[in-house]
Amino acid sequence: MSELRETVFDIQRGSFVDGPGIRTTVFFKGCNLSCKWCHNPEGISSKKQLLFHRDKCTHCQKCKSICKNSLEFCDLCGKCTLFCPSGAREICGKMYTPPELLKEIVKDKSFFDASGGGVTFSGGECMLNCDFLLEILKLCKENKIHTAIDTAGNVPWESFEGALDYTDLFLYDIKCVSGELHKRGTGVSNELIIENLKRLSDTYKGDIIIRVPLIGGFNDTDEEITRIGALLNRIRHKSVELLPYHKMGEHKYDALNIPFTKFYTPNESETARFKQMLGITKIE
């Protein structure tokens, strides 16, 4: 069995938004961006974490009585999650080898085959552990499973090179083009991200779908959308998806006890105008 291991925080089955057909999306832990609006903040750290959902807690104290440390510090043993009657405590992150992960993916192969779907590797940033990713991609191709990579592109180009022959689709995130704005919103420069996108456009033979998160209070200006449109006009891509900000992940920040920055969802008329500016025929 492979010695490679990767920590996964979710395996979402029956997805219709991460590529064609019915898909299983595998979310890897660990990301080298810190997007202030991230709806999966549990994917930023590469380590297992405890989420405490305060709104679910009934203060029954069963978790404290079962914990060998009386909740004074957490060693992520997970016992408290087993005895919590309301599901207020959750361990996030499970380690897999590539063969173990493949066993989870092939459970849905009949759905893939019937719908033209497959597996999408996401995160976090799934390309940070390129050796693991390459091995699971190869195993999927051996099993005739369509593969997609959802990436922010902030990795060495060598990470892309190894995956090109085993990936049918790239979902590539572009948050903004302005370098200063990107660093302010994500904590990192976007020079490598844009450079990798251009190289991918020039060398990759499969499909590329550009994903643009539309974040109210960050990139929802005519100037920034115009810059994004100008970039997209210079690269080869199949389509563009505009992803308006949603609030579904906001509660996770409290559960992880980490700071949260508030953003908002642009209204329908603003979204439609930005869609027209980018030449998008569909809004996800």
Instruction: Write down all domains in the chain, each with its CATH number in brackets.
Output: 6-48+93-278 (3.20.20.70), 50-91 (3.30.70)
Distance of CA 66 to the CA centre of its chain: 34
pLDDT at 270: 93
pLDDT tens-digit series, residues 167-189: 999 999 999 999 999 999 999 99
150 near 126, Cβ under 8 Å?
Answer: yes
Please report the pLDDT score of residue 1 as a whole number: 47
* H helical segments located in the chain: 62-66, 79-83, 98-106, 109-115, 130-142, 157-163, 179-186, 191-203, 222-232, 250-256, 268-278
* Beta-carbon contacts of residue 136 (< 8 Å; ≥ 6 apart): 98, 101, 102, 121
Q: Which residues of the chain have pLDDT under 70?
A: 1-2, 281-284
Helical ranges in 22-146 per DSSP H: 62-66, 79-83, 98-106, 109-115, 130-142
CB atoms within 10 A of CB 96: 21
pLDDT at 2: 55
Contact 87/58 with Cβ under 8 angstroms? Answer: no
DSSP 152: -
> What is the pTM (predicted TM-score) of this model?
0.93
Sign of CA dihedral 123, 126, 132, 138: positive
The predicted structure's pLDDT at residue 280: 75
Q: Which residues pair with 172 in a beta bridge?
A: 151, 210
